[in-house]
A and B are shown apart, each in its own frame.
Chain A
């Protein structure tokens, strides 16, 4: 499987500010995704990061709140905008279509732990 890293690993932010989370993969991948895991909850898909075009958002998530970029096949960013305490979560990047990996299988990064005060 690919090695997936996320930056920052954790952060504490003030409400009203924005935070950009980076996801870097050590090999080219077909698909990249962003998930949110609220405290004590399971994972929820936010969006699919599409290379060279706008991300595809799931119901309940909008581009103005969670802008996403994917400039190439190994990198993506998720921005959490105008944060409120309700945005305190773990944000996870996942990838699929790893060369040499098990196809139709997603691999997850370590996550970014965000606390909004």
Chain B
């Protein structure tokens, strides 16, 4: 699977949008971009995934660049409960393996 690069940490203001970047410059045409988050002491939580089109659900939006070499996860109105480690993972559609990197530790401040 392609490797991803994320900033190690980010601070966000409560109520503001949080934009989490991810680079995946070696992504292949059949690889999806997945986002998970892990709140302290809990199992990872699925957020969203996409192939090339932008995606939105009740939790977040995923913006994938046209060349697919990078993406941004957007939390539209960050709350204190969004404080977590966020993982960007690239995965082949029919391959179950998830390779977790170090992720981005996001701290939402009041």
Contacts and interface: CB of A to CB of B under 8 A. Distances in A.
**A in complex with B:** yes
Interface of A: 1, 4, 31, 33, 42-45, 48, 92, 94, 96, 102, 104-111, 113
Nearest to B57: A102
A8 to B, nearest CB: 15
Contacts of B13: none
Secondary structure of the B side of the interface? loop
A104 B49 CA distance: 10
B46 A45 contact: no
Interface of B: 32, 34, 36, 41-46, 49, 87, 93-94, 96-98, 100-103
B96 A96 contact: yes
Given A104-B93, A105-B49, A110 B100 contact: no
Contacts of A113: 41
A104 B94 contact: yes
Q: Which of A96, A108, A113 has the most CB of B within 10 A?
A: A108
B87 A42 contact: yes
Contacts of B41: 111, 113
B96 A110 contact: no
